[in-house]
Structure 1
Amino acid sequence: MQQAKFDVRRFVSSDPSKCTGCGLCEYVCALEKERFLLNPLRSRIRVVRLTSFLNIAMTCRFCEDAPCVKTCSRKALKQSEKGGVLIVDEDKCDSCGWCVQACPYGGIVLHPEKKTVVACDLCGGEPKCVEFCPEEALELVTDDAVSQKTLISAVEKLLSETERLTNLIMKRALTDIFAEAEERAKRLGQKLEALNEREMKLQLDLRNKGKRINE
Structure 2
Amino acid sequence: MIRTLIVDDDSLVRLALADILQDADGITVTAEAADGAEAVELARSHRIDVALMDIRMPRMDGIAATRSLRALADPPQVVVLTTFDLDQYVYDALSAGASGFLLKDTEPEEIIRAVRVVAEGQAMLHPAAARRLIDRYHHTAPRQAPAARSRVGRLTPRETEVLGLLAGGASNAEIAAGLRMRESTVKAHVSRILATLEVGNRVQAALCARDAGLVV
Regarding TM over 0.5, the answer is no
Structure exhibiting the larger radius of gyration computed from Cα positions: 1
TM bin (shorter chain): under 0.3
Q: TM-score, normalising length from structure 2?
A: 0.25
Which structure is higher in helix share? 2
Which of the pair has the greater relative contact order for Cα pairs under 8 Å at 6+ separation?
A: 1
TM-score (normalizing by structure 1): 0.25
